[in-house]
Chains A and B, each alone.
Chain A
Amino acid sequence: MLLDIANLSKRFSSGGRDVAALNDVSLTLPPGETLGLVGASGSGKSTLARILLRLTSADAGSIRFEGKDWLALSGAELRRRRAKMQMVFQDVLGAFNPRATVASVLGDPLRIHDIVPKVERPREIATLLERVGLPASYASRSIREVSGGQRQRIAIARAIATRPSLIVLDEAVSALDVSIRGKILELLVELQQERGIACLFVSHDLAVLRAVSHRIAVMEAGRLVEIASARQVIENPQSSAARALIAAVPRLVTGMPERPHHDV
């Protein structure tokens, strides 16, 4: 197993009340698989992603990643091993230092993890850009000068730069236009097949997860309520949370508008 999460819990205190953001969540992810993590807002799926990336701490539970106790790592050792687990954020604007250039965004991970010798870095940056469908000349641009869809391509290039075995995508296509969304999803699937990267794809949109996930995990109020193959979750949902999420996906209604489909 590439990733083994066991009994993970996290509580937040907000406004005097103690809220369980994660309640005893366990799941596993084999190499090269995409697991879709779906839930309404506040279901704890983003908290899970942030704990996994060691951006916030867990209260209880364990994570084994590539056979090692991931939560026990710290300092230089953690920084070194971070190369293997990368992330793509939702906010295509906020995920980049506003002062960065495309070259510095991609050059940083290459430098930090010494992926290629310094002299070969510009060529590696060009290769990464071309791999995600952008011209190599983009390297000299400021991150402010590129569009939202292109920025998400750069974010993906940054994530694959360190040759990770797992990428966590937190609502990675939710902020994009529909026409761009499809192309980014295709790129992600292509990269996964080519490099055998496992993905944890967090989203509130089951239609997006259906497109890219082998399995889907459903979360509700901090708990994992259902986990099965994508087809099974969508065709035969077991939990009320999954049924509500399925009913909420808008469908193209081509006839005359009748009673809307979403009276859950």
Chain B
Amino acid sequence: MSALCEIRELEVAYRGNSVPALTNIDLDIHAGERLAIIGESGSGKSTLARTIARLLPAGARVRGEMRWSLGQAPLPGRDMGFVFQDPAASLNPVLTVGEQVAEGARLHLGLTRRTAYERALDMLERVRIPDPAKVLKAFPHQLSGGQRQRVAIAAALAAGPGILIADEATSALDMIVQAEIVSLLDELVREAGMTLIFITHDIALASGFADRVAIFRDGGLVEAGPTGAILTSPKDVYTRALLASHRDLSTPPLISEAAS
């Protein structure tokens, strides 16, 4: 796989903050891969996503290089879609779902109003929203959290971008909806041969479908590599600690069962 983007010695600091949010990051993003960026709060994982998507707030200082293989950086919205943690905040409450999904297609694909709506309907079907024709006319507050996130994904993909960045896109959802959204993202990205950058705090969630993982901590890259290799033989102590603190249904309980 060729490198879609080579990040070299990246350093990002927010305005009024002397301590950088990210330091000395060297990371390649491969075309068509599913890359999981994993870290706890304060690790800098969201800052990295925002740097790649050029969504940093005004006054943020960026040093280092981001070399895109296409020569120029992808245009957010057209070449790169973004899905946030909180769909309630990323969707406009006064526009219908249809208007928001169609907007990207109209703006970047130059579609007419009518064809953009047809595309929006098609997108809603692809994110498997039940009764898409009805949802097209609905407002975000009329939908459940999971459906809103599906709409946000449809809007992010409407212009047919080659890269999709999902920043904790499932953390605000319950487990069942989270599993559905993750498998949906996985499938959509596979179908379209997109590059997926999946930011999460949950290493197990990422292990289920990512090709490569990059572990972040305190603004630095701990280690990066193929998912299987990192999970079976982690080199860094922190990665090992992160894996050890994972808890699923086969983890022995903390209580003695006899008490019941």
Which residues does B use to contact A, with CB under 8 Å? 40-41, 142, 144-145, 173-180, 182-183, 186, 201-205, 207-211, 227-228, 231-232, 241-243, 245-251, 253-255, 257, 259-260
Contacts and interface: CB of A to CB of B under 8 A. Distances in A.
A81 B51 CA distance: 53
- Name the residue among A40, A178, A185, A230 with the largest chain B CB count within 10 angstroms: A178
Nearest to A42: B144
Contacts of B245: 178-179, 181-182
A181 B254 CA distance: 13
12 contacts: A15-B142, A41-B145, A178-B242, A178-B246, A179-B242, A206-B249, A212-B254, A214-B260, A215-B260, A252-B207, A253-B231, A264-B176
Contacts, number: 144
Interface in A43-92: none
Given A177-B41, A262-B179, A257 B211 contact: yes
**Which of B182, B241, B251, B260 has the most chain A CB atoms inside 10 A of its CB?**
B260
A94 to B, nearest CB: 15
Given A249-B175, A250-B208, A178 B201 contact: yes
Contacts of B180: 262, 264
Interface of A: 15, 32-34, 40-42, 148, 177-179, 181-182, 185-186, 189, 192-193, 204-208, 210-215, 229-231, 234, 244-257, 260-264
A41 B245 CA distance: 25
A246 to B, nearest CB: 7
Given A177-B201, A206-B175, A262-B182, A251 B257 contact: no
A210 B257 contact: no
A147 B210 CA distance: 31
Contacts of A245: 175-176
A249 B246 contact: no
Contacts of A230: 253, 257, 260
Closest CB pairs A-B (n = 8): A262-B179, A214-B260, A250-B204, A248-B175, A177-B40, A248-B179, A204-B174, A250-B205
Contacts of A248: 175-176, 178-179
Nearest to A261: B208
Nearest to B142: A15
A253 B204 CA distance: 7
A211 B255 CA distance: 7
Given A41-B173, A42-B144, A215-B260, A246 B183 contact: no
Nearest to A189: B254
B151 to A, nearest CB: 17
B246 A252 contact: yes
A206 to B, nearest CB: 6
Nearest to A188: B254
A244 B174 CA distance: 12
A148 B201 CA distance: 15
Nearest to A32: B259
Given A178-B201, A252-B246, A260-B208, A214 B176 contact: no
A33 B260 contact: yes
A231 B257 contact: yes
Contacts of B202: 178, 250
Nearest to A182: B245
The interface centre, meaning the residue of B145, B204, B208 with most chain A CB atoms within 10 A of its CB, is B208
Given A40-B177, A177-B41, A207-B247, A212 B253 contact: yes
A33 B256 CA distance: 11
Contact of B228 (A192, A254, A264): A254
A263 to B, nearest CB: 6
A248 B39 CA distance: 21
Contacts of A208: 247
A253 B182 contact: no
A193 B144 CA distance: 39
A179 B241 contact: yes
Given A178-B201, A250-B202, A252-B207, A207 B174 contact: no
B260 A229 contact: yes
Given A207-B251, A210-B253, A253 B175 contact: no
A182 B255 CA distance: 13
A244 to B, nearest CB: 5
Given A257-B209, A264-B180, 20 more contacts: A33-B259, A33-B260, A41-B173, A41-B177, A177-B40, A177-B201, A207-B248, A210-B253, A211-B251, A211-B253, A212-B255, A213-B255, A230-B257, A230-B260, A250-B179, A251-B207, A251-B250, A252-B231, A262-B179, A262-B208
A260 B182 contact: yes
Contacts of B243: 252
